[in-house]
Amino acid sequence: MLAALWAAGRPLVPAEVQAAVGSDLAYTTVMTILVRLHDKGVIERERAGRAYAYQPVVAETEVVADQVRRLLEHGHDRAAVLQGLVEGLDPGDVRVLRELLDAARAVRRTRGDAG
């Protein structure tokens, strides 16, 4: 959903978000998620007629050329000071990471139940 807002590059009303996401999410579900993201401060909203139009707080999409794409596809050795999100993964870590991911999911589920 955040990706849809980024891709739009302009404020979207919930109906447009629903269309952009393209899945069969109910309108109320889209609404709920947007309100939740707004509460978290990830997106901001403005009045657009009777509805609110939402846009990411800091976000935009641009068509970028080779340099940026190469950076993303070949990682850090392009420029040592550009911090990537994950700088390398030992194949032996896969099992460990899968377990950690399960653990993270479990923590999030518990939180979701509690809240």
Chain contacts with another protein (rule: CB under 8 A)? 1-3, 6-7, 33, 37, 40, 42, 56, 58-65, 67-69, 71-91, 93-94, 96-98, 100-101, 103-105, 107-108, 111
17 vs 55: CA distance, rounded Å: 10
Shortest Å distance, C-beta 94 to another protein: 6
22 vs 7: CA distance, rounded Å: 13
Whichever of 49 and 112 has its CB closer to another protein, that residue is 112
Shortest Å distance, C-beta 105 to another protein: 6
Answer positive or negative: Cα dihedral of 68, 76, 92, 103. negative
Whichever of 50 and 107 has its CB closer to another protein, that residue is 107
Shortest Å distance, C-beta 10 to another protein: 12
Whichever of 50 and 65 has its CB closer to another protein, that residue is 65
Contacts of 88 (CB under 8 A, 6+ apart): 75
Shortest Å distance, C-beta 9 to another protein: 9
Identity of the amino acid at 112: G
Alpha-carbon radius of gyration of the chain: 19
65 vs 4: CA distance, rounded Å: 21
